[in-house]
Structure 1
Amino acid sequence: MKTTLTRASLLMAAALFSSYGHAVDVNTGDYDALPSGTNLAMVYLQYSEANDYYQQGKRQDGYLRTEMSITRLIHYTDINGMLVDPQILLPYGSVRGASVNGQSLGNATGFGDPIVGATFWVVNQPQAGYVGRYVGITPLLTLPLGNYDRHKAINVGENRYKFDLQLGWVEPLYKQLSLELFQDSVFYGHNNDAGNGNQTLKQHPTYEIQTNLRYDFSRTQKMAVGYALYTGGRQHLDGDYNQTKTASQQARIEYQQLFAGHFQVSTQLIHDFDVKSGYKKDTGLNLRLLYLF
């Protein structure tokens, strides 16, 4: 028998969508330290489609299609002998056909919440192994400036602050093989215009572990097989917990190619293979265009 979702559960399903990208996911090579004075301009084009929604491990009929673009600007500089890269991320996109058990959650289009932050490299050893050994700490602050309508169940913006503390570690293994490990802890402010527009959404911290086994064919070509685990994030609407939280696992494969020393194309395929709560991404394609100058 299929579970029938209440209006409150539908609202929580919408809240889960808005926080699905709770951490800033990484591409292989993101924590490779570049020389001070380097600039990067990037555009991410992300598409995903989900055909199931899960609540406490129980499958519901559901659908969600997202099409997002993110502009990211990074500048590498030296501060008191430490390499730092101030950056900003500006998302824009749409959510289409969102539904759970045949009940529509609507559509949304517009600007997402901008993110500002910087990576501080506490270990920067470019001569170690083929790609180097690096450890970076990246605080990221999400600002509630994106499009948000208190009367809509689905929004691109979240109407709340978020703070993501991300740690990255790149370790050479053997010749051109290396391991990348990343950990995120995300803390959430309150959305006081949630639910029916007059309710308060609170969320416990979420945690993410990302890892890549990476192989550099050359200085211009690399490939990585990755895994991500998301957990935590219990949500309360006006103090009521509806047994929904973040819990999923994801597989990834990525290929990068650098052209003429300045222009890089990255293609990443993703698939959610174990979801306890939220939408299950059957298909995901992330394309990144990067220009180095």
Structure 2
Amino acid sequence: MKRYIPASLNGLASLLFLALWCGSAYGVDLQPNDIVAPLPNKNYLSLSYQNSQNTTFYKNGSVVTTRPYGNPVIDTNAAFARVSTTYEIASLPGVSYVQLPYGSITTAGSLSPYAGDTGFGDISLATAIWPYSNRESRTYLGVAGYFLMPTSKYSNQTVFNVGENRYKSDIQMGFQRPIVDSVDAAIAVDTMWYGGNSQCAALCGSTTNQSLTQKPLTTIQVGPIYKINQIYTVAVTYFYVAGGATLINNQYQNNVINTQRYLLSGQAHTPIGRFSLQYGRDMEIKNGFMQSRLLLARYSVEF
């Protein structure tokens, strides 16, 4: 059943906005060796499952416990299907993919009065090019562009929607090189830009549509990648996320994202495909619901 935000919560619009938008507004997380240039003329299918939970709410660095923040729980589950193809452009390695998500958002605790959502998410497209690639020295510089389209259903009457009803674009640059024989260092920086949502009613704490916009968001991710042997690889990644403040009808919401988090990764390269497992969580957050758990499993195979 669709639910409206009660009128008494209109003054808490920033909370409900951050729950869905800022909590899902991080940049593009990379897996180990995503910065390594691919071989051309290959096609891949990737199937992923992602589970995350967000709990304690922060406002300008302080925990908020007043209603409905007392015991908030937001669980998200999503499956992703991605098809990729690799090629060369002017002798430079490249890859493009299209990805379709299907997911669900459920609420519990003090947020249980707010209905969740289930369905297909927004389709994303991506292309990456490597201006520099040296396999002998294991040194790579890549640039990628991402574009997300609001292709899923969206209701202005509910706070939580799988679709975001806005366009998003992201530019990312990554660099990877060896530190010692079996350990590489990788760093990537990306900035995400957001289109507006002119149908922000319940999400903005209103019974009528409001105009919702968001400032660009920048993410830095850095860490070592250790190749144990020809099969197993592990990595640790530190993330710093900054920016992404929102405006409702051009009114600044004072909710800049300033988050530090980590991600642990493991991969197994087998004859039947590549298996990946990642686990992470927020370490420090300024605004929004803290992510207490992020689990991602992925299987990729050439076809």
Is the Cα contact below 8 Å between 2:87 and 2:95 reproduced in 1? yes
Match runs of 1:120-199 below 5 Å:
120-128=129-137, 132-194=138-200, 195=204, 196=206, 197-199=208-210
Is the Cα contact below 8 Å between 1:263 and 1:289 reproduced in 2? yes
Deviations 1:125-182 (A, max 9, x none): 1111xxx111111011111112211111111111111110011111111101001111
SS of the residue aligned with 2:152?
coil
Aligned residue identity for 2:35: Y
Is the Cα contact below 8 Å between 2:74 and 2:108 reproduced in 1? yes
Report the counterpart of residue 89 of structure 2 in structure 1. 79
Q: Does 1:219 align with 2:230?
A: yes
Counterparts of 1:252 and 1:267, CA distance in 2: 10
Is the Cα contact below 8 Å between 2:266 and 2:277 reproduced in 1? yes
Q: How far has the Cα of 1:66 moved from its partner?
A: 0.7
Counterparts of 2:256 and 2:80, CA distance in 1: 26
Counterparts of 1:125 and 1:89, CA distance in 2: 28
Is the Cα contact below 8 Å between 1:18 and 1:156 reproduced in 2? no
The percent identity for this pair of structures is 24
SS of the residue aligned with 1:20?
helix
Is the Cα contact below 8 Å between 1:14 and 1:154 reproduced in 2? no
Report the counterpart of residue 88 of structure 1 in structure 2. 98
Deviations 1:189-248 (A, max 9, x none): 110001335111010000101112110012221000111111101101112223212221
Counterparts of 2:105 and 2:112, CA distance in 1: 15
Report the counterpart of residue 44 of structure 2 in structure 1. 40
Deviations 1:54-81 (A, max 9, x none): 1211213321111011112111101121
- Which structure 1 residue ranges, 5 or more long, are not aligned? none
Counterparts of 1:280 and 1:47, CA distance in 2: 14
- Which structure 2 residue ranges, 5 or more long, are not aligned? 1-7, 65-69
SS of the residue aligned with 2:114?
strand
User: Which of the numbers 270, 277, 282 marks the counterpart of 1:267?
Assistant: 277
Q: How far has the Cα of 1:51 moved from its partner?
A: 2.2
Counterparts of 1:156 and 1:11, CA distance in 2: 19
Is the Cα contact below 8 Å between 1:270 and 1:284 reproduced in 2? yes
Q: How far has the Cα of 1:278 moved from its partner?
A: 1.3
Counterparts of 1:103 and 1:91, CA distance in 2: 24
Q: Does 1:111 align with 2:114?
A: no
Counterparts of 1:88 and 1:221, CA distance in 2: 27
Counterparts of 2:247 and 2:73, CA distance in 1: 23
Report the counterpart of residue 4 of structure 2 in structure 1. none
Report the counterpart of residue 51 of structure 1 in structure 2. 55
Counterparts of 1:7 and 1:58, CA distance in 2: 21
Is the Cα contact below 8 Å between 1:55 and 1:243 reproduced in 2? no
Deviations 1:247-291 (A, max 9, x none): 21111111100111x411111110111011111111221111111
Coordinate RMSD, CA, aligned: 1.8
Report the counterpart of residue 12 of structure 2 in structure 1. 9
TM-score, normalised on structure 2? 0.88
- How many correspondences in the alignment? 284
Counterparts of 1:75 and 1:16, CA distance in 2: 35
Q: Does 1:201 align with 2:244?
A: no
- Structure 1 window deviating more from structure 2 (60-69 vs 265-274): it is 60-69
Is the Cα contact below 8 Å between 1:53 and 1:63 reproduced in 2? no
Aligned residue identity for 1:14: F
TM-score, normalised on structure 1? 0.91
